[in-house]
Structure formats: structure tokens, C-alpha cells
Amino acid sequence: MKNITIKMLLLVLSVLLLAAFFTGCTKKPASAEENTEPQVVFSTPRREIDLNGYTVKIAQWWDGSPKDRMSIERHRAAEEKFNCKIEYVTIAWDQIVSKFTSSVLSGEPIADIILFEMTKALPVFAESDLIIPVDDYFNFNHPKWPSIIKQTGRYAGKQYGFTNASWNISGIYYNKVLFDRLGLPDPYVLQENGEWTWEKFLEIAQKATGDEDGDGQNDRWGLVIQGHNLYAALVLSNNANIINIDDYGKATFALDDPNAIEALQFFGDLHNKYKVVAPVMDSTDWYEAPREFSKGNVAMFFGQGWDGQDLKTAMKDDFGFVFLPKGPKASDYIVPVQQECKIYVMPKYAKHPKEVAKVFEEIFPFYNDMVGFEYWIAEFLDSTEEKATVRKMLEKGKVSMHQGYPTFDNLLFKKVTGEIIDKNVPAEIFIKDFKDEAQRAIDSEY
């Protein structure tokens, strides 16, 4: 009996020792060579931004819906990424301001993003509290944004306007056939040599102006001007501006700057002293000047990029395109950026501004969309030189916001036309008499 008990104790002890041994083995850390299967957890991917099927609306005055394959793919990818729909709302150019305004005042904006001409939106919509600043929704320090956006979209220290591309080009179109026939110097060569100045511009205009049929009346002109619109551009090209706006939104009359006075005097002299400007029949007809230029009896015409598209169809003679000549007080060529510049804005009562900003950045090509730009300029510019010129123009914009003050702008146009052109009043006297009235008009706006 004693032997059986001892054997049983030894057997139990052996079992306990083996159990302890195997238990210790199971607690050993797994080595790198062991074939361990990772645990797989299945879950639905979460979107960083989920708009839950919301329709993002973008309003402008032409159909902006994607047409090319890449644009269509960007829009589809954005709709999938943010769980939304994207819709373009087309509103006539002459109705978009009124429809936008009434929709915001009702608390139901017509779209999440709306495109406007720069001075149709600023400063009026900012001052009227109809649009919101977008500084918190976009990083405007990123190099993808057009550099000029901080001029065209900024007001009173806040960024209201934005755009992925800003193709602001304007300058002097010139009739190459007429230049060759008259033996005039090539403006492109002058431009590249840094010699395309007001002085050379005037010299060419004087040589081009003349009587073709011998009846004693000029029927060939150095220059045609679209609705007298050259005076503001000349001011900008002489290191001056029409108004200045500080970081608090205070606008100040700036044409009393000697550089600006010099520009206004040059504008008047082109008409009255040198008589190189073709007569304007209707200053409200914005097609009159390009129409006259296309006939072949005018050497030069100051116009916008889209004028080139029309000229390509309407004009028989070849034409060239260069910067506006620089004034005596300027160190470089500039591109006047005025009302024609376009910016997007977000309305007050926007429902998802942060999320919509992300959608915008996904659906539009940035870095000034040079692919689209090259396609556009190829429609009306043929030579390598002209295309190189307009590429440079993208970085030479100089902004004037004076057209954002319509009471002042209309008064200025009326005064410049009536006093400087029609009555030949010297610019210095004109500005002295006009300054206080002009500032009152500016102050009356907002």
C-alpha cells in the first residue's frame, strides 16, 4: 500500500512538472521566423469629407460643365471622394449680379460658388455683407495659386476672391502688313530690347497716320481706342494708379500723383496735339475699335486677349501682339488688370464652405492651367514670339479697382472725355479742379 501511494505521488509530480514546462513555452515571445497569421478586421472606409449626397452648385454666365475627358474624370472622382454631386448653373451675364443678390438676401444663395468680374464683386459684395472671406478655407501661400489673386481677390485685409487660373492678357495689337508697307519698326523687337516706350509708340503712331487718297483728310491712323478705355491703362503703365485702397478698405483718389498726371496728359496729347487717334463714333460700342482695326487702315489697337480671337476671324491682314508700352516712370512692362478679371466668391449663408472649397481644389487644374492656356492662345496667335510674350504677361499684372466704385468710375469717364479730350484741358489743371469732387464720389459708394 505504501509503495502504491509513493508511485501515485511521483506520477502526479511528473504531470505537474510537464504542465509547468509547456506553460512556460507558450509564454515565450514569438520569433521572427514563426509563421503567425495577422488578424484581419473588416470595416467600411471612412471619407475624410462626406457631403452625404449634397449638390455643389457653381454659377457663371456660360456653361461650365466639363467637356474634355480629363475634366470629366476630375469631376467624377471628386463626386466619389466627397460623396456629392456637382452642378453648373448658367445665368446670363446681365442678370447674374441681380439674381445672386436677391438669392442671398432671401437666405438661399443661388449657388455655393459664383463667378464674377472682379469689380462687380469687390468691394460692393464685401461691404454689403453678401460674400464671406475664404482665408480659412484655402492656403493662398501655396504656389499653385495665380500670384495675382492676392491683388484681385483681396479687400480690407481679407481674401474674398479665388480662382485656379488668371489669364489676364492685354496689350497692343498691330497690323504687320501695314507696318511692313510703311517701313515701321517692329514693336516686338523694340519690346525685347527694352525700347518699347511711349516715345516709340508715339513715333510709330505719327508715321502711320496719314492721307491715303489725297483728299486732304487723314484716312489712315496710328491708333484706334475702344471707348476711350486707354487712359486707365496708361496710368498703370507709368507706375501710378487711379485709386489706392488700404488694408481697412479706405479708398483714396490717386490721380493727383505726378506720374498719373503725366499719363493723362499723354492720353490727351495723342488726341489733340498729335492727332493720331482714329475718331470714335460711338464710345459705348465696344466693338467699334476692333472692327475699325480689322479693316486694315489702323496701325495699332489696345485690346484684350479675346479681341484676338475675333480679329483672327475678321481680319485679312496678319497681326502681332505685344505689351502696352512702358511710361517714362516705369521700369518694366505691365498688363493692366481691370474689370475684365474674373474671380469666384462664396456667398453669405453658404452651407458647406469648408467642404466646397475642397471640392473646388479637386475639380479644377491649378498652376494657372497652362495646358488650357496654351490651347487658348493658339486659337489666335501664330508666332512663337507672340506666344512667348503672352506667357510673360501672366506674371506682369497690375490691378486697378477703380471700376468697383461705379459712381466715381462713371464720373471719371465723363470728365476725362469731356475735359481732356473734347476741351483739351491740361491734365494738371483738370486734376486740381476734379480731385475733391472725385474723392466725394468715392466716399459716397460704401
Same domain, 149 and 174: no
pLDDT of residue 135: 97
Same domain, 153 and 213: no
Query: 232 is written with which cell numbers?
Result: 486707365
Same domain, 139 and 268: no
Same domain, 258 and 391: yes
Predicted confidence (pLDDT) at residue 106 exceeds the cutoff of 90: yes
**Per-residue pLDDT tens digits for 362-409:** 999 998 889 999 999 999 999 999 999 999 999 999 999 999 999 999
Same domain, 259 and 390: yes
pLDDT of residue 215: 87
What length does the chain have? 446
Same domain, 307 and 191: yes
**Domain count along the chain:** 2
pLDDT of residue 47: 75
Q: Answer yes or no: is 38 within a domain.
A: no
Q: Answer yes or no: is 376 within a domain.
A: no
Highest mean pLDDT among 22-31, 46-55, 167-176: 167-176
Predicted confidence (pLDDT) at residue 41 exceeds the cutoff of 90: no
pLDDT band at 96 (very low <50, low <70, confident <90, very high): very high
**Per-residue pLDDT tens digits for 203-256:** 999 999 998 888 889 999 999 998 778 999 999 999 999 999 999 999 999 999
pLDDT of residue 340: 80
Residue 332: domain span? 170-339+384-443
Same domain, 117 and 180: no
Same domain, 198 and 295: yes
Domain with residue 352: its CATH number is 3.40.190.10
**Strand, helix or coil at 209?**
coil
Same domain, 346 and 248: no
Q: How many CB atoms lie within 10 A of CB 121?
A: 26
Same domain, 134 and 180: no
Q: Answer yes or no: is 3 within a domain.
A: no
pLDDT band at 14 (very low <50, low <70, confident <90, very high): very low
Q: Average pLDDT of the chain? A: 90
**Per-residue pLDDT tens digits for 166-189:** 999 999 999 999 999 999 999 999
Q: Taking the model in full, what pTM does it have?
A: 0.85
Residue where a domain stops, chosen among 296, 331, 364: 364
Same domain, 137 and 272: no
Residues 170, 176, 181: CA angle, nearest 5 degrees: 145
pLDDT of residue 72: 97
Q: Answer yes or no: is 13 within a domain.
A: no
Q: Answer yes or no: is 92 within a domain.
A: yes
Q: Answer yes or no: is 348 within a domain.
A: yes
Starting at the earlier edge strand, list the strands of the sheet with 170-175: 221-224, 298-304, 170-175, 319-322
Mean pLDDT, residues 47-69: 95
Q: Which residue has the higher pLDDT, 2 or 69?
A: 69
CA separation, residue 201 to residues 141, 387, 416 (Å): 38, 21, 21
Q: Answer yes or no: is 318 within a domain.
A: yes
CA separation, residue 37 to residues 34, 40, 440 (Å): 9, 9, 80
Same domain, 258 and 328: yes
pLDDT of residue 45: 54
Residue 128 — φ and ψ, nearest 5°? Answer: -90, 0
Q: Answer yes or no: is 12 within a domain.
A: no
Predicted confidence (pLDDT) at residue 46 exceeds the cutoff of 80: no
